[in-house]
Structures are given as structure tokens and as C-alpha cells.
Structure 1
């Protein structure tokens, strides 16, 4: 549905943005502008009520605003460091994908926008499901072992880290795109002799470690959002371009 709406934005040949990666970077770094409002004691309660998403709220627009809603200083630093890397990975992949397609789309801007928003919402919701399954599984195992606590304390719904899973999921989805596309490149560490490993293997190891942290409940970080973002990036690298072309043809942009 989201991709259909974005795909319907005008005729693709009219959009000739020379550097679409800057457009993507603008969207990716948009939460920075909301940071002062989240730190305000007057605006923060209103933002929590009207801009963060819960299943029982009955508000559809919060599915988008939740992606950009946070007021954590440490997370702002994370975005500062990770966003440029994700920007390079995503823009390179989309430009490469555009060159392989026999279409008259002059820029991947709208395709990138659809990916950005869909990756954010996917990681936002799927991470909650994954955390729920994890909690239920550990809770069931805990009942099998007396005097053993396997389930970390539940975080408060007002914790700012619960509202940032969408943006962090986009970061991991973007990096995964590049890791899947160009992951066969070899990284060699001469300090360890002839040790060689592909970039995709390095990324798999990184995600596996975060998966362990997720199960253990290490730190106030939503590890599940990172894992779900990486999963979305892998799926999109395989099926995303075909899905995008299908949407465009459905809307009559391609013959």
C-alpha cells in the first residue's frame, strides 16, 4: 500500500534530481530536528501521546511519526555516526539497481523513499512481535527451571529506546543491501597472517552477535529492531526491485 502511494507520485521522467542520495539523507536525518522538542518537558508528553504508535491508540498516522520519534542523546549520536554509512550503502545500491533496469525512471528517489518508510515500519512492528515471542519463550523456559531468572525486567513503554526501532531498522536494512550485493569482496587482515573473510560474512557475524544480545536482553537497546531491519534489507535486495516494477506497471507508468 505504501509503495503504491509513493509509486503514483507523478510521471517518473519528470524527476531528474542529480543527487538523490541527498534526498535520502534528508529523510534519514529528519529526526534530528525533533530532538529539541523531545527534550522539552512541555512538548514531550504531547509527542508521546500523539506521535508514538500503539496498537490500541486507533491512530494510523503514528505508524509514520513513530519512525522519527525519539529524544535519546545516545541514540542521536548513534544516528550521527551510522546515518552517513547507511546513506552511502543505500544510495549506491539504488543507483546500481536503476542502471540494471530497462525503464525510463530518471532517478531512484521515489523507490528509495518507499524503501526507507517501509523498512522503518517493518522493523517497528516486527521487532515488537519478535520481542514478544522472545519474552514468552524465556518465560516458558523459566518455569521449567526453579530459582532461575531468564527474563530481564520489562522496559517501560515510556522508555525512549522503545520509540526508535524504526530509524535503527532503516540503518541496518540499508547496510544489509550493500552487504548482500557486494558482500563477496574479501577483507584480509595481515596482522593475523593470511586470515581472509568476506564482507557479507563480517556482517552476518555482527548480526549474529546482536541476536545473542537480544536473547540475553543486554542493555537498553532494542536489538530486535536491528535484526528485523537486517532481515528486511536481505529480503528487499532479493525481491524489492521486482516488487517496485510491479507497482509501477500496475499504475500504468511502464508499458
Structure 2
């Protein structure tokens, strides 16, 4: 800024100080969420480049029939729609920092006395593991259940006709089912992407760790409700979506993330500390006593 006037130098320095101080005043967990949001924003920006669309579809969305496994990780940081990105990052900022706070408290309360200088690696491990698990649940639901059902329909199209259907209705059902070609069956299986599963895990972990908290929905606007009522209400909606075959969201990934969050609340912090005891403190106390 040496070539700028004194007024512009002062303005630039003031703006920098305000932004930097705001960042430094936030909790460590929220800083990690900022970094995750920035990574998701960069991936979203690449999606907006037309010539990169084919690459992004292959490498940053997970198709259960693609034969690729690394996309279960990359798709966790991928959003092609700005609205999808915006709502997911808003939820990450709210619940990710709370989940990180809970994990930090659990580390401080651990009896092993192996203190950590930072809890960000614990939260990052939790977030990535939750994203992988939710992607795996969605993958298994499609590759092991939905796809074989489509193949069965192609092999025996008349099997879906109800016995009580009339002749006209039965003929229409046969035509509708038999018209389903192999390419159409494959096209009905869509790739998935987004951080919703990992964020769902953070939401359920927060709900179990801070049951006295209240949340409000932005859309539709709602008064404050207990967080556990809201979370289990959303889980019930996703369960209905799985049963009814809704395709607006990846309900299997949502439920997978929610179940991972519940499991991690019960067993995750102790499992994390047991790994640290083995790597940093030698054998755990129970084995040392033996």
C-alpha cells in the first residue's frame, strides 16, 4: 500500500483489522466451519465453469454404479446449486460449531489426561467420517436394493400388475412397465452430492449433547422449538421419504448421517481417546494395570 494516500492506507488497515479481529474472536470450531465452507465454495465455483461440468460430474458426484469409491468423499464437499450450498453452509455454521464445542469438552473431561492443543482434528475427523458413512448408506441402498428391483422389473414387467386390476388398467400397467428400457432404468438412478449427511450428523450430535437448546426454522418460519423435537421430526420425514420413494433429497444419506451422529454421541469421544492413548500414551490404563 506504499503508493496509496494516507486516507486509503488508514481505511485499508481499518478494514483488515475489523475482518481479522472478527475471525480471531470466533471459537476454534467456527473457524474450522469457515474453512469447510470455503472449500465447499471453491468446489461450487468450479461447478459454474461450463467446460468443467463433465469432470465435476465424474469426480465430485457419487454415482452408485460408477465403480468409483473416492467420490463418496469428494461429493461431501460438492454443491452444484447455490441454494443447496447456502442452506447447507448456514446449517454447518450453526450446528458444526456446537458439535465441535461438545467434542472439545469431552476431550477436556477425559480421564486419560492426554490433553490436546486443538480439537479441530477431532471435528474434521468426525465430519469426514460422517460424510463417508452417509454416502455409503446411500450407495448401499441404491446399488443393493433399488438397482436389483429395477432389473427385476425389466426381466418380468408383468409382475407389478395388481391381481385385482381391471383389464384396461392391467394392460396400461404392462405397457408402462414394459416401456422401461435398460437406459431408462439407469437414468432413474441419479448421482448424489452435498454435505447434508455430514451436517445431519452434526445436528443430531448437537441435539443429544445440548437437549435444552431450541431452534427455529427459516422456511417455513416457526417459533423456537426444542432441538430434539425438530431433529427427530426431520428424521421422521426422511423415513417417510424412503418409504414413499421421494426423490427430492437423498433421504438415505440424511438418515445415515443422523444415525452416525447418534452413534458418535454414545461411543465416538471414547473411541477417539482410545486411539490417542495407543498412539501417544502407550498402552491404555487397563492394560498397564495388567
Structure 1 residues 236 and 69: CA distance shift in structure 2, 3 A: same
In the alignment, is the contact (CA less than 8 A) between 1:51 and 1:66 conserved in 2?
yes
Q: State the structure with more CA Rg.
A: 2
Q: Match of 1:101, SS?
A: coil
Structure 1 residues 215 and 18: CA distance shift in structure 2, 3 A: closer
Query: Which of 101, 104, 128 is equivalent to 2:115?
Result: 104
Tell me the number of residue pairs that the alignment of Structure 1 and Structure 2 aligns.
226
In the alignment, is the contact (CA less than 8 A) between 1:20 and 1:107 conserved in 2?
no
Query: Which of 239, 244, 248 is equivalent to 1:220?
Result: 248
Structure 1 residues 75 and 247: CA distance shift in structure 2, 3 A: same
The CA RMSD over aligned residues, in Å, is: 3.6
In the alignment, is the contact (CA less than 8 A) between 1:53 and 1:63 conserved in 2?
yes
Shift of 1:228: 0.8
Q: Taking structure 2 as the reference length, what is the TM-score of the superposition?
A: 0.65
Deviation readout 1:153-175 (Å, 9 max, x if unpaired): 9684895xx3325x111111001
User: Does the alignment pair 1:46 with 2:75?
Assistant: no
Equivalence for 1:199: 227
Structure 1 residues 83 and 156: CA distance shift in structure 2, 3 A: farther
In the aligned structure 2, how far is the partner of 1:55 from the partner of 1:214? 17
In the aligned structure 2, how far is the partner of 1:77 from the partner of 1:237? 27
In the aligned structure 2, how far is the partner of 1:137 from the partner of 1:61? 23
Q: Match of 2:50, SS?
A: coil
Equivalence for 2:272: 244
Q: Give the unaligned 5+ runs of structure 2.
A: 1-25, 154-158, 164-168, 178-183, 216-224, 284-290
Structure 1 residues 204 and 57: CA distance shift in structure 2, 3 A: closer
In the alignment, is the contact (CA less than 8 A) between 2:60 and 2:193 conserved in 1?
no
User: Does the alignment pair 1:125 with 2:153?
Assistant: no
Structure 1 residues 64 and 132: CA distance shift in structure 2, 3 A: closer
In the aligned structure 2, how far is the partner of 1:95 from the partner of 1:236? 14
In the alignment, is the contact (CA less than 8 A) between 2:75 and 2:192 conserved in 1?
yes
In the aligned structure 2, how far is the partner of 1:25 from the partner of 1:253? 32
Equivalence for 1:33: 42
Deviation readout 1:217-244 (Å, 9 max, x if unpaired): 3342111111111000000011101111
In the aligned structure 1, how far is the partner of 2:31 from the partner of 2:143? 36
Shift of 1:115: 0.4
Shift of 1:184: 5.4
Deviation readout 1:107-151 (Å, 9 max, x if unpaired): 2111111101101111111122234566379879983745698x9
In the aligned structure 2, how far is the partner of 1:243 from the partner of 1:84? 25
In the aligned structure 2, how far is the partner of 1:157 from the partner of 1:129? 16
Shift of 1:20: 3.8
Q: Taking structure 1 as the reference length, what is the TM-score of the superposition?
A: 0.72
Structure 1 residues 226 and 56: CA distance shift in structure 2, 3 A: closer
In the aligned structure 2, how far is the partner of 1:254 from the partner of 1:184? 38
- Structure with greater contact order relative to length (CA < 8 Å, sep ≥ 6): 1
In the alignment, is the contact (CA less than 8 A) between 1:127 and 1:224 conserved in 2?
yes
